[in-house]
Amino acid sequence: MRAVLSILGVAVALAGCADAPLKRTTRWDAYYASAAAPRPAIRVTPPEGTTVPMAKLIAEYVTDYLKKEDIAASVGDGGTGAGKHYLLNGRAALLAPDETGRRKRVMTWMLSDAQGRVISSHTLAVDGTEAQWDYGDAQVLTSIGLNTAAPVARLVRAEVGTKVPVDPTSRGLLLDPITGLDAAAAGPVADALAEALRGTDLLVTGDPRQATYRLAGDVLLTPGGDGFDDVRIVWRVLTMDRAEIGHAVQENRMVSGAGPELWARAAPAIGEAAAVGLEHVFGLRSGPPPGAPERNMGEPPPITLPGQPGRALPPPQ
């Protein structure tokens, strides 16, 4: 997952403390968030044993539900090839009718690597009338999508060893000491971030026994010229055994040799921006955040409307 978030306000808070106007390297002071491990990718083949339209609908539903499991998925043709993606091929087998005359189908899915080597399989029974299968009933399709995506996602994660956050709203997040700053400067930043996170759906705790994730912050200061330092803050979301599952980065400029007072003034803006970005790391926010490539960066261009002689309203008196 990648994103960009503005931390405007840090520069504003610090500009009054400098003799020279604050120079920025960008218009939007960069922030981005991403998952540490690449997302597994699956190509879902329309299953055999049913009509072509129904098979295509099944593949689309399974693909949509895999995406909700944070798996990159697309509908494919089942062909093998190079790469690190996986193939999911299925077949629907019709069973004998029961005493009510209804006939169940058994869906068997085969998960294989890009070269077609089978890794594992998943089977589920699907109840539905012939009409539901012939006309693509939404209830049947939803049942297939739900009951296929979750088990297949677990199989793929086990295969690639991907660590994915699970229900972060009910798991504690432990803040580790910030590195790269002295304690007097790091303290206000940590406090501001903890306060900002408490306004989100993330549960912050100071007790390691209640924590499922760690949040480690590292500050890097490099000379930027003209009396300023380039500031880069990396927030890493870790498991308790310190395996990284995602990170966020903030960048800005600060007066060279800034002391604890300046960091304390900048801390609320840093904390609020970082909290929003961490929500994107955990998947708690949808859509591109401010500054992302999908959104406009910086101030919008000025708009000049052409005059319309003889048709425009008269100027106000």
Domain ranges for the chain, please list them: 2-37+167-281, 41-160
CATH number for the segment(s) 2-37+167-281: 3.30.160
Question: Among 45, 173, 17, 192, which residue's Cα sits nearest to residue 112?
Answer: 45
What's the pLDDT band for 283 if we cut at 50, 70, 90?
low
pLDDT for res 25: 35
Q: Output the average pLDDT for the chain.
A: 75
Percent of the chain with pLDDT over 90: 21
Burial of 246 (0-12, 13-18, 19+ CB in 10 A): buried
Please name the fold of domain 41-160.
Answer: Rossmann fold (3.40.50)
Give residue-wise pLDDT tens across range 28-47.
Answer: 233 555 544 445 688 999 99
Q: What are the pLDDT digits (tens) for 55-76? A: 999 999 999 999 888 788 889 8
**Amino acid letter for position 73:** A
pLDDT at position 90:
92
β-bridge partners, 304: none
For 61, the token pair is 């539903």
pLDDT at 239: 76
